[in-house]
Amino acid sequence: MNPTMRRYRLTLHLWIILALVMAVCATGSALAVLYIQRPFVFGAQPRTAPVAGVLFSTAIVAGALAAVAGLLLGLRLTRRIWLIIERAEAAAPPAANTPNRPMLDELGVLDAAVGRLTLSVDRFVSDSDILTKLPEGMLLLGTNDSLISFNPAAETLLGAALERLRGRPLLSDDGVFPLEAGNGPLARLLAKARIDDHAVARCELAATTGTGRRLVLDLTAQDHDRGQSLVLLFRDATEKRRIREQIKRADQLALLGALAARVAHEVRTPLATIRGLIEFLQQDLEPDHRGREYVDKITRGLDRQERLVQKLLMLTHAAPLISEPVSISLLLQDVVAALPGHRPTLALEHPVPPILGDSVLLAEVFSNLLTNAFEAGDGTVIVRAVATHGGTVQIDVTNYGVGIPIDLQERVFEPFFTTKPRGTGLGLAIARQVTEAHGGTIKLVSDGRAATTFVVELPRAETSAEVVAR
């Protein structure tokens, strides 16, 4: 006997029910036909008794045959039902001490087994930590891209609590990725995933969260349940992009190094010759001679060319020549005093710890940042310097007026990239090279509309007391 059958007490068997039902139906149908046809049958035959016996016998035979057919059909069905029950029992077996349960028929047994299997699956899904341990972030979106569900990795990667955003459209102003924050590429990815039959993937897509956090994500979107929902999987690609950009920058700097060496040789020598000849001309011209105006213009042009050559050399040779404690307060005050006609607001913590580096190169960094701030803004520039708890000094240079568009913020530190008509595109590139050569970091923070801040962090120099304590 089947071991699964021992767990249940069946009141009726399905094959008996089918045999009885089909026998009754066949017999009843035959008798109904006989009753309807009685005027024709008995009226046409003078001896009606034999005919009636034959007809009744036929009805009985039809019922018997239907009973046999129902029996065979019932056995065939119950054999397949018990096969399904066995598989359900194997997937979700009952407790060992479960007593025999009374069941009406095999369908009742099947209902109980499938019900227990469904309960087991629901419990597995609710208790499972698959989504919890999934390294990728997962967002489940509804028909209007509303947030239905998410996993803990999504909250970690996005740096936000998503429970309060449940039910809100993903791209709404108060959603996870507001469309107005520059998330147009993400919106197009979701729209494409809705109409495609296969998953849509995008590598290194820039996105901005509702809290203003900028991310670089590898995304995969897959339509689910025929447009009723959308599964969005993503992971942080910031580190991958950073490594690739470092390789790209290294290649660029290698090319610029060869270019700078050639420029220094091919350009500086004739520039020095021209400058010497100009000085001879200045000596020969009278103080009020009209030619002095042209000589002065040539001299200013030579100065610009020499500064450009110097910037090229500094971009490829940004390592500090000396490393000594530098007072950031005095350094910033000297840089501000050298600016022609501009006076930013200095907000310096007292005292600001000294930093370790080359004062000449560091002065070039802040000179470039302040010059860009005044050229890009409305003239309001604020410089703040504070000591952090991480052993660094943070200097913020903020200007107001025109922000840097979000789609350009990734490129401002690239060599030769500029938005100014007469810019060289070297100032911010030099600032980053020098800062990183000093073991520091520089980053851009901008809302894209009215304010821009360059944040520079440099390691502070150890004081004598710290050296002794260590």
469: pLDDT strictly greater than 60? no
Q: Are 438 and 320 in contact (CB under 8 A)?
A: yes
pLDDT confidence bin for 286, thresholds 50/70/90: confident
Supply the pLDDT for residue 464: 43
Give percent of the chain with pLDDT exceeding 70. Answer: 73
Q: Which residue did the predictor score with more confidence, 407 or 272?
A: 272
For residues 299-322, average pLDDT: 72
Q: How far apart are CA 230 and CA 175, in angstroms?
A: 16
213: pLDDT strictly greater than 60? yes
Q: Are 441 and 356 in contact (CB under 8 A)?
A: no
Neighbours of 372 (CB within 10 A): 22
Q: What is the average pLDDT value for the chain, to the nearest integer?
A: 77
- Name residues whose C-beta falls within 8 Å of residue 226's C-beta, 6 or more positions apart in sequence: none
Q: Which residue did the predictor score with more confidence, 187 or 29?
A: 187
Q: How far apart are CA 372 and CA 384, in angstroms?
A: 16
Closest among 199, 133, 143, 208 to 173, alpha carbons compared: 208
Q: How far apart are CA 350 and CA 354, in angstroms?
A: 11
Strand duo 229-236 + 214-224: pairing: antiparallel
293: pLDDT strictly greater than 60? yes
When mean pLDDT is compared across 202-211, 364-373, 399-408, the lowest value belongs to: 399-408
Q: Render pLDDT for 324-347 as a digit per residue (tens, 0 to 9).
A: 899 988 998 888 888 877 777 888
pTM of the model: 0.48
Give percent of the chain with pLDDT exceeding 90. Answer: 6
pLDDT confidence bin for 456, thresholds 50/70/90: very high
Nearest 5°: phi and psi at 414?
-75, 140
Ranges of H-type helices in 177-237: 184-195
Q: How far apart are CA 27 and CA 57, in angstroms?
A: 10
Using only C-alpha atoms, the chain has a radius of gyration, in whole angstroms, of 43
pLDDT confidence bin for 272, thresholds 50/70/90: confident
Ranges of H-type helices in 377-455: 427-437
Supply the pLDDT for residue 373: 84
Q: Are 59 and 31 in contact (CB under 8 A)?
A: yes
Q: Are 140 and 148 in contact (CB under 8 A)?
A: yes
Token pair belonging to 458:
């440099």
Q: How far apart are CA 388 and CA 325, in angstroms?
A: 17
Supply angle C-alpha 234, 236, 239, rounded to 5: 155
Q: How far apart are CA 187 and CA 191, in angstroms?
A: 6
Token pair belonging to 451:
């304010």
Supply the pLDDT for residue 404: 78
Q: Where is mean pLDDT largest: 76-90, 299-313, 429-443? A: 429-443
Q: How far apart are CA 386 and CA 393, in angstroms?
A: 6
Domains of the chain: residue spans and CATH:
5-127 (no CATH), 131-236 (3.30.450.20), 253-316 (1.10.287), 324-469 (3.30.565.10)
For residues 269-295, average pLDDT: 80
- DSSP secondary-structure letter at 163? G
For residues 388-405, average pLDDT: 85
Token pair belonging to 279:
């000085």
Q: Is the dihedral of CA 16, 20, 21, 23 positive or negative?
A: positive
Q: Render pLDDT for 19-63 as a digit per residue (tens, 0 to 9).
A: 677 777 777 776 666 666 666 555 555 555 565 666 677 767 777
Q: What is the DSSP string of 235-282?
A: EE-HHHHHHHHHHHHHHHHHHHHHHHHHHHHHTHHHHHHHHHHHHHHH
CA distances (Å), origin 73, targets 16, 30, 116, 431, 462: 10, 21, 27, 86, 92
Supply angle C-alpha 154, 158, 163, rounded to 5: 65
Q: Where is mean pLDDT largest: 87-96, 379-388, 461-470? A: 379-388
For residues 407-426, average pLDDT: 75
Strand duo 200-208 + 229-236: pairing: unpaired
Q: Which residue did the predictor score with more confidence, 162 or 10?
A: 162
Supply the pLDDT for residue 277: 83
Q: Which residue did the predictor score with more confidence, 386 or 91?
A: 386
Q: Are 394 and 435 in contact (CB under 8 A)?
A: no
Dihedral of CA atoms 123, 126, 132, 134 in degrees, nearest 10, equals 70
For residues 452-460, average pLDDT: 91
Q: Which residue did the predictor score with more confidence, 150 or 258?
A: 150
Q: Where is mean pLDDT largest: 28-42, 157-171, 302-316? A: 157-171
